[in-house]
Chains A and B, each alone.
Chain A
Amino acid sequence: MAIRECALKNPYFAKLFDVYRNRDAAALAFKAKGGKVLAKLGFDVPDELVLAAGLMPVQVYADPDKELVYTNKILEYAFDPMVRKQFEKMVDGTYKDLADYLVVSNSTDVLIRVFLYLRELIRSEPEMPVPPTAFIDWLFTRNRMHQERNELTINIFKAQLEDWTGKKITDEEIVDAAKICNENRAALRKIGELRHAEQVRVNGTEALVIIGSGFFMDKKEHTDLVNKLAEDAASWPVITGKRVFVTGSVHEDLKVYSMIEDAGAVVVAEDHDWGDRSYERDYNMDYPVVRAIVDRYMLRSFSSKKAFVSQRVETLNNSVAAAKADAVVFYTNIYEDSASWDYPSQKKSLDEQGIRNICFAKMQYPAQNNDGLADSIAEFFRG
């Protein structure tokens, strides 16, 4: 594993790493004290509203070791393997025990299908242990009409939260929650600077822990830990090696990043939702509350799923340049296909800029199921 001694010995990192490895602990403790937990599937469920409603948001994640008892019956093979593992937990009672509510955002077409299937299971097989489930139906194409429609969508979600909790959410509560979220993003940006700077102090594997732990714990506590950690990490040893940008599938675990960094490179940035993209763009305090939420979630950098090829080419070029990356690793799980249509155009653009790149497509999940992957990665960085 590529996490260094300086990180492992740091008390703030150690705490975050503990949360990262024991992802359900904080939510269970919150529930034990009478709190309510909301599980999020997709990365376009606004924390600002969930926190304002007095709920603890946690991210749905896959358990690679879980047997797919229900999933293999219910989902077609076109669902990617990570989503399959997530789905099992949503229908086998795992999330019914952990969370009071489940919210799915339409961040990918696959997740839309997951929501439709969950909704139909709840309707036709009510004995299945699926938590009460809601859906957020964003429009991601960028024009005025869709921005306006998204305000309606967010008001529908707000009303759903109010219905679940039995209390109105005030504008003041949303603003207070937004401050908490913005402060969290600001803290994570400090870590981002330690990765993107000329002198890299935090590697990608460490960053995944720092960012990902925030999906499973109290946000203020996470902010506090990350701020303190950023101060300490500023004096961690400088990391040398090829600067790498990772794009494609999300990485819920450390395996691929560890393979890259064990090969002597360092992941300085990425554009997936378990990485840099999760803390992009603030809630704008000058806007009316619902409009500010729409602005934050609709206008982040283009995701690999909800964007056209030209938008993805431009986004990747800009992100790679900002991170001063020497190389790009494309990594997509099998059946996670949409990025495959971006790849040839993105590759062409990178090649023209002289930026080395390698593509791992149709990958098995979890990553260790791919024979020879670590060797292939090492070979690329030796080249």
Chain B
Amino acid sequence: MEEIKKEMPKASPSGAVKKLKATAEASAYQKEWFQGLKARVEAGEDFGYLNADVPMEVLKAMDIPFVVNQWWAAICGAKRMTKKYFGLLRDAGYRDDLCSYCATAFAESLDPDDHAYDAEGKPLGPWGGLPDPTIAITRLTCDCQSKIFELFAKNHGADFYAMENTVARTFPLNWWDYATDKWEELYDKDRLDAAVEELKELIRYLEMKTGKMFDINKLQVVMDNINRQETWYGKIRDLIADSHPAPVTVVDTINAVMPAQWQRGSEWAADHAERLYYEIKELADRGDVAVPNEKYRLMWLGRGLWHDFPFYQNFEKKYGAVFVWSMYLAMGADAYRRYNVEADPLRALAARYIGMEDFLHMPPWNAQWFLQQAKRNEIDGVVYMVPENCMQAVEGSYFIKKTLEDAGIPVLAFNADPVDPRKWNRDTMTGLVEDFIENRVMKKEK
């Protein structure tokens, strides 16, 4: 293992302080990867644009380049393109107050300057703009999403492909104890059967569209790589849970994990997860902690605050309140691993993708998991961003809040938007969280 030199924490362009080499590496990798992807698309390869809950492993196994909608929306949000894009939506007759996460890329497709450059030769679109996809795939987990994806596909001249969604009839509360090894017992058998059939139809479509053959052996490799990657995330999650003070915060982990999560299935992503673990472990081993005066451990529930990452660090100096947990690391650890793949890799993949929405957005699965994680991480308070314009993310906030508070963990729930800074006031939100820390977290009996 290469020795990791201690470096001073660096501030990202957004102002958030990140301390990990792995974060910088992931950031550099994804930019290089994206340029490579653009080159492949420009050379005439098919290019997929996928919603996050689409089984991207199939495209990975078939070596079809793709971009994930939520990742791209986060890039656009971080590049502060949202205001411009939602103006374009308005100009085209659409409402500009809906579905910000899912509509960002559609809005971008209305931008005539997406692939243009300014007078100094700088690209006007984020990272030079999104290349034209030839395939747009979403799942029907929301009434709006399929409509947006169809509009997006039309603007790019791409095929639109929709995959169905079913609702769980059985739901063991401790799903995380089943998901890795006993996933066949986790779901209704007919749901898994249907998802496998959906996968077969998707594969046939992709084979016809791209001329590439799907090879089950390659899917096996992809699944194995993902298991390796997510196992490292599990070790990181447990390491943070066991470390007081924590060696890293959510600013470090989200930025290190998410670029690699969208690359899951690749050797790079699995190796990166391993390097990330050892880098954090070394920090922990030598007592190099994120916030030396850590007094209160906070959990962030909801999507990442892509347009204002420094917000997470606002409460460290004043209160010793540290955001140590977000779903972005823990979801990979608990929800994405699927062992016993060999017998039927497609079925194992089905057992991964049909649960993604359920684990996060279906009561009681989400609430029970958040509670288990809060206890495991010795969380003192939960800050919960409830999206205000997204039915897909409506997830039973009442049950989540009640479950945590009944267990003695205070929760601050507020409405905001993960990618639209127009609906965010840093001062107001800081005041809200400060009040929460002072009046609920600090006064809580330990």
How far does the alpha carbon of A120 sit from the alpha carbon of B168 in the complex, in Å? 13
Q: Say yes or no for A167: interface residue by CB 8 A criterion.
A: no
Assess the B415–A113 pair: CB atoms within 8 A.
no
Choose from A78, A141, A361 the contact partner of B140 (Cβ within 8 Å): A141
CB distance from A205 to the nearest CB of B (A): 28
How far does the alpha carbon of A342 sit from the alpha carbon of B390 in the complex, in Å? 17
Assess the B198–A109 pair: CB atoms within 8 A.
no
Assess the A120–B166 pair: CB atoms within 8 A.
no
Q: B11-19, B29-37, B396-404: which lies at the A interface?
A: B396-404
A94-112 contact mask (Cβ, 8 Å, vs B): 1 or 0: 0000000000001011101
Q: Say yes or no for B41: interface residue by CB 8 A criterion.
A: no
Assess the A77–B147 pair: CB atoms within 8 A.
no
A-chain residues with CB within 8 Å of residue B164 when the two chains form the complex: 139, 141, 146, 149
B-chain residues with CB within 8 Å of residue A152 when the two chains form the complex: 190
Assess the B94–A149 pair: CB atoms within 8 A.
no
Q: Say yes or no for A309: interface residue by CB 8 A criterion.
A: yes
Assess the B391–A113 pair: CB atoms within 8 A.
yes
Choose from A140, A337, A344 the contact partner of B98 (Cβ within 8 Å): A337
Q: A77-B415, A123-B364, A338-B147 are in contact. Are A116 and B396 (CB under 8 A)?
A: yes
Query: How many residues in B have their beta carbons less than 8 Å from beta carbons of A?
Result: 44
A-chain residues with CB within 8 Å of residue B160 when the two chains form the complex: 308
B370-394 contact mask (Cβ, 8 Å, vs A): 1 or 0: 0000000000000000111111101
Choose from B94, B99, B140, B399 the contact partner of A344 (Cβ within 8 Å): B94
Assess the B166–A139 pair: CB atoms within 8 A.
yes
Assess the A73–B398 pair: CB atoms within 8 A.
yes
A-chain residues with CB within 8 Å of residue B194 when the two chains form the complex: 145, 149
How far does the alpha carbon of A342 sit from the alpha carbon of B98 in the complex, in Å? 13
How far does the alpha carbon of A149 sit from the alpha carbon of B148 in the complex, in Å? 26
A-chain residues with CB within 8 Å of residue B162 when the two chains form the complex: 141, 308
How far does the alpha carbon of A38 sit from the alpha carbon of B169 in the complex, in Å? 20
Assess the B388–A78 pair: CB atoms within 8 A.
yes
CB distance from B340 to the nearest CB of A (A): 25
How far does the alpha carbon of A73 sit from the alpha carbon of B405 in the complex, in Å? 14
Query: How many residues in A have their beta carbons less than 8 Å from beta carbons of B?
Result: 46
How far does the alpha carbon of A73 sit from the alpha carbon of B396 in the complex, in Å? 11
Q: Say yes or no for A341: interface residue by CB 8 A criterion.
A: yes
How far does the alpha carbon of A308 sit from the alpha carbon of B162 in the complex, in Å? 10
Smallest CB gap from A361: residue in B: B95
Q: Say yes or no for A203: interface residue by CB 8 A criterion.
A: no
How far does the alpha carbon of A309 sit from the alpha carbon of B155 in the complex, in Å? 13
Q: Say yes or no for A172: interface residue by CB 8 A criterion.
A: no
Q: Which residues of B, 131-147, contact A by the 8 Å Cβ criterion?
A: 140-144, 146-147
Assess the B144–A112 pair: CB atoms within 8 A.
no
A-chain residues with CB within 8 Å of residue B213 when the two chains form the complex: none
Smallest CB gap from A340: residue in B: B95
A-chain residues with CB within 8 Å of residue B387 when the two chains form the complex: 78
A-chain residues with CB within 8 Å of residue B415 when the two chains form the complex: 77
Choose from A79, A145, A149, A156 the contact partner of B394 (Cβ within 8 Å): A79
How far does the alpha carbon of A137 sit from the alpha carbon of B166 in the complex, in Å? 7
A70-94 contact mask (Cβ, 8 Å, vs B): 1 or 0: 0001111111000000000000000
Choose from B99, B150, B362, B388 the contact partner of A308 (Cβ within 8 Å): B150
Smallest CB gap from A312: residue in B: B147
CB distance from B94 to the nearest CB of A (A): 6
How far does the alpha carbon of A152 sit from the alpha carbon of B392 in the complex, in Å? 26
CB distance from B107 to the nearest CB of A (A): 12
Assess the B197–A135 pair: CB atoms within 8 A.
no
Smallest CB gap from B363: residue in A: A120
A137-153 contact mask (Cβ, 8 Å, vs B): 1 or 0: 10111010110010010
A-chain residues with CB within 8 Å of residue B147 when the two chains form the complex: 308-309, 338, 341-342
Smallest CB gap from B151: residue in A: A309
Interface residues of B (CB under 8 A from A): 92-95, 98-99, 140-144, 146-148, 150-151, 154, 160, 162, 164, 166-167, 169, 190, 194, 197-198, 201, 362-364, 386-392, 394, 396-399, 415
**10 closest residue pairs by CB, A with B:** A344-B93, A338-B143, A341-B147, A109-B143, A120-B363, A74-B398, A308-B150, A305-B143, A139-B164, A338-B144
- Chain A to chain B contacts (Cβ below 8 Å), 8 pairs: A76-B394, A109-B391, A112-B167, A116-B167, A139-B166, A308-B150, A338-B144, A341-B94
